[in-house]
A and B are shown apart, each in its own frame.
Chain A
Amino acid sequence: MSVTNTRRSRHIGITLSKRTGLVFILPALILFTVFVLYPLLTALSYSFFNWTGIVRGDFSVLDNYVTLFTKLPYRDQVPNAFFHNVLLFVGAMVFQNTVGLGLAVLLHRLKRFKRFFQTIFTLPYLVSPLVVGYLWSLMLSPLFGPVNFILKAVGLEEFAQPWLGNPATAIWVVVFVTAWQWVGFPVLLYGAALGGIPQEIEEAASLDGASSWQRFREVTFPLLTPAIGTVSVLTFIGAMEAFAIPYALGGSQGSPAGATDVLSLLFYRTAFESGASNAIGTSSAIATLLFVFIFGVAVFITWFMRKAERKLY
Chain B
Amino acid sequence: MSSLLNATLAELGAELAAKRVSSVELTRACLERIAALNAGLNAFITVDEARALADARSADERRGRGEAAALTGIPIAHKDIFCTRGMLTTCGSRMLANFVSPYDAHVIEQFDACGAVLLGKCNMDEFAMGSSSETSYYGPVRSPWDRGLVPGGSSGGSAVAVAGRMAPAATGTDTGGSIRQPAALTGVCGLKPTYGLVSRYGLVAFASSFDQAGPIAKSAADLAALMNVMAGFDARDSTSLERPKEDYARDLNPDLATLRIGLPKEYFGEGIEPGVRRAVEEAVRWFEAQGARAVPVELPNTELAVPVYYVLAPAEASSNLSRFDGVRYGHRAAQYADLADMYARTRAEGFGAEVKRRILVGTYVLSHGYYDAYYLQAQKLRRLVARDFAAAFERCDVIAGPTSPATAFAIGSKVDDPVQMYLNDIFTIPAPLAGLPALSIPCGFDGKGLPVGLQLTGPHFSEARLLGIAHRYQQASDWHLRVPSETPL
A binds B: no
Q: Which A residues are closer than 8 A to B by beta carbons?
A: none
